[in-house]
Amino acid sequence: MTGRDPTTPVWLVVCGERERGDDAAGPLAVEGLPLDLLARCELRLTAGLSVETILDIPEGAACVLVDAALGIEPGAVVVRPLASLAARGGEAARTVSPSSSHVLAVDQVLGLAEVLCGRLPDGAFVGIGASSAGIGAPLSPAVEEGLPAFRAAIAGEVLRFLAG
């Protein structure tokens, strides 16, 4: 999308469930972000990404999608453009699988939203590698160790989009 309005808040869409092991990484990371940064965001907390969430993002707004992801090294942080994760058969879509999208995978959600709306918002996916998302499980040591880098990557992407 072109024509992003820098006065529009960045949509910070955070997926995850606190009681599901490494799936809690997104909400935990966002809790530690500076309040002045969060005040410049439209914060959406969700168990899993939905098409409706993407369709709610107004034209001209950017989106930073945050989630724990299977398929990358536990605790490792990845940043990818949203468009690269849309269902287009790209390598990123095949190798990064957010663990909290229980009904549809993120590439399918983004691809469907793009078809329905004719566009995807400017944006980035910021993920941390997860090893498990079992109900009642604690964070894995790798994800707990990776939280500061995850938080820094989230803040960096929000600031990048706020700068226009």
Q: pLDDT of 41-75, one tens digit each?
A: 999 998 887 778 777 888 888 999 999 988 889 99
- pLDDT < 70 regions, the chain: 1-7, 86-120
- Sorted by sequence, the CB contacts under 8 Å of residue 93 that are 6+ apart come out as 84, 85, 86, 87, 107
Q: Look at residue 46 in the predicted model and tell me its pLDDT.
A: 87
Tell me the helix, strand and coil percentages in the chain, rounded to 5.
40, 20, 40
**Secondary element (H or E) of residue 147:** helix 141-162
Closest among 70, 89, 91 to 80, alpha carbons compared: 91
Closest among 129, 127, 89 to 107, alpha carbons compared: 89
Domain ranges across the chain: 10-162
17-28 b/e (C-beta count within 10 Å ≥ 16 → b): beebbbbbbbbb
Q: Look at residue 94 in the predicted model and tell me its pLDDT.
A: 43
Which residues lie across from 97 on neighbouring strands? Answer: 70
For domain 10-162, which CATH number applies: 3.40.50.1450, 1.10.20.140, 3.20.20.70, 3.50.50.100? Answer: 3.40.50.1450
Residue 36 and residue 117: Cα distance in Å, rounded? 31
Q: Look at residue 122 in the predicted model and tell me its pLDDT.
A: 78
Q: Look at residue 38 in the predicted model and tell me its pLDDT.
A: 94
Residue 45 DSSP one-character state: E
Q: Look at residue 152 in the predicted model and tell me its pLDDT.
A: 97
Residue 4 and residue 84: Cα distance in Å, rounded? 19
- Give the distance between the most distant pair of CA atoms in the chain: 44
